[in-house]
Amino acid sequence: MDFNESPEEAAFRTAAKAWLAANAPQHELPEGVMLDDTEEVMLGRAWQRAVYDGGYAGITLPTALGGRGGTGIEALIFAEEEARYNLPKGPYIGIGLGMALPVIGKHGTPEQIAAYADRTLKGELTWCQLFSEPSAGSDLANLRTKAVRAGDDWIVNGQKVWSSWAHRSDMGILVVRTDPSVPKHKGLTFFVVDMTSPGIDIRPIRQISGASDFNETFFSDVRIPDANRIGAVGEGWACCMTVLMGERLNQGGERGGIENLIAYAEATPRGAGTALDSGSVRMALAQALAEEQAGKSFQARLRTMVSRGENPGALAAMVKLAFARRYQQTSGLALELRGMDALAPPAGDARTREIQHDYIWSTVIRIAGGADEVLKNQIAERVLGMPGEVRMDKNVPFEQLK
């Protein structure tokens, strides 16, 4: 075991640092300003293009996909250095790199890879994820949007929901039911879809944060060429698993860092000193910091497993579960230690406003990408080997389910 960076890794960090110092500042977002969605995506594309030109796009993606073919550690190093700047990196970029490319890379044809990989890495194509439906979230395989074969095309009808940034995406990754006569996980097929296709109707949903960056996406007789099918007919569930695994491995830690909260406590007056003088605040933040550090080391272990070709499986769920809980707990605590001012900070106090946002956003982290309860089931069943819930819906043809 060696926690130090290898000479190659250290050299990578030095180079990445220098490159970022020269390129990132002009792409930074203004502090505390809510950008218009269209503008944010435009800035996101431009930054991604710069990353591509710098040779840092898709660090872990194989060179065959146009990536750098680097290691997970390198990706982490770059992400750490990149996080020192306030850059436009939303789902509009993340879904393409973290979900679309891996699934296309693993299940797609060489033609599909050629069609999408390079343009996505350059920020030319933005992507959304069209999985969830009103009655299919945790129980994703319960989805009802259906596709019927018609010559060289498929005709899609149904409704997706919570589709982040679909209203500003060029392409979508889509899972639909192509065979209702087999059990729910078996009759699914995976596609990429051009979001400008006729018959797609995207309606933004207002969120509790005040933003409206996820959507209901309706499909009425939308034609998708069979050439857009990823993997075999009926292989949709396996494709989804590829996407969700990537989602889980990449989560955790990018926001709500505990060191920032310690600094926040120290910047909050209390009597003659600061809020950080309080024993209970110190205890809570130190515990959270220790857990955050554990999460980082845990992730390093998982990355090591991945680099050896092992599948961390439900272990990845542990990192996400622990992070989600801590994120809500500590952002809530930070508001409390701030006192009344946290409820209505002065206009210039961007830090408190960010923590308020964290407290709101933490609810999403506990739900999306595997909700707490679902992850606990996975850990119990796949890590501890405990039996699953008795299920009535697994081996019955979908069309016979109520």
Partner 1 sequence: MNFDLSDEQKMLAEQARGLLAERVPFDRLRKLIDANAEWDEPLWRELGEMGFLGANIPEEFGGLGLSELDLAMISQELGRVNAAVPFASSLVLAADAIRLAGSDVQKAEWLPRLATGEVVGCFAYAEGPGDLLGRGVRQEGAKLNGTKTPVADAGVATLAVVQAGEALALVRLDQPGVARTRLDSFDQLRPHYRLDFADADAELLPRGGQIETLFDRAVVQAAFEAVGAAEACLTMARDYAMERQMFGRPLAGYQAIKHKLADVAVAVEMARSNAFYAGWAAGDASGELPGAAAAARLTAITAFEMAARENLQVHGGIGYTFEANCHFYYRRERTLAIALGNREHWAERLIAHTPGSQTKAA
Task: State which residue, 202 or 305, has the beta carbon closest to ligand FAD.
Answer: 202
Question: Which amino acid is present at 258?
Answer: I
Can you tell me whether residue 226 is helix, strand or coil? helix
What part of residues 60-119 is at the interface with partner 1 (CB under 8 A)? none
Pick from 129, 169, 178, 250: which binds ligand FAD (CB under 6 A)?
Answer: 129
Smallest Cα–Cα separation from 56: which of 47, 319, 313, 156?
Answer: 47
Minimum distance between the CB of residue 165 and ligand FAD, rounded to whole angstroms?
Answer: 7
Cα end-to-end distance, the chain, whole Å: 53
Instruction: Take residue 84 and report the two structure tokens written for it.
Output: 């020192």
Minimum distance between the CB of residue 367 and partner 1, rounded to whole angstroms?
Answer: 5
Residue 367 in the binding site for ligand FAD (CB under 6 A): yes
Pick from 60, 126, 132, 268: which binds ligand FAD (CB under 6 A)?
Answer: 132
d(CA 189, CA 174): 8
Per residue, the 3-state secondary structure of 48-108, as one string, reads: HHHHHHCCCCCCCCCHHHCCCCCCHHHHHHHHHHHCCCCCCCCHHHHHHHHHHHHHHHHHC
**DSSP label at 269?**
E
Smallest Cα–Cα separation from 214: which of 201, 222, 223, 205?
Answer: 205
Residue 169 in the binding site for ligand FAD (CB under 6 A): no
Q: Is the dihedral of CA 155, 105, 101, 160 positive or negative?
A: positive
Residue 164 in the binding site for ligand FAD (CB under 6 A): yes
Minimum distance between the CB of residue 372 and ligand FAD, rounded to whole angstroms?
Answer: 6
Residue 374 in the binding site for ligand FAD (CB under 6 A): yes
Give the number of other CB atoms < 10 A from CB of residue 400. 10
Q: Which does 1 bind (CB under 5 to 8 A by kind): ligand FAD, partner 1, none?
A: none
Contact 148, 113 (CB under 8 A): no
Task: State which residue, 116 or 264, has the beta carbon closest to ligand FAD.
Answer: 116
Q: For the window 355-374, what string marks contact with partner 1 as x by the rule CB under 8 A?
A: -x--xx--xx-xxx--xxx-
Minimum distance between the CB of residue 249 and ligand FAD, rounded to whole angstroms?
Answer: 16
Residue 359 in the binding site for ligand FAD (CB under 6 A): no
Question: Which amino acid is present at 95?
Answer: I
d(CA 157, CA 24): 43
Window contacting partner 1 (CB under 8 A); options: 57-65, 97-105, 204-212, 228-236: 204-212
Q: Give the footprint of ligand FAD on this chain (CB under 6 A).
A: 128-132, 137-138, 162-164, 214, 364, 367-368, 371-374, 377
Q: Which positions touch partner 1 (CB under 8 A)?
A: 132, 135, 137-139, 142, 161-162, 205-208, 268-271, 275, 278, 280-281, 328, 332, 335-347, 352-353, 356, 359-360, 363-364, 366-368, 371-373, 376-377, 389, 391-393, 401-402
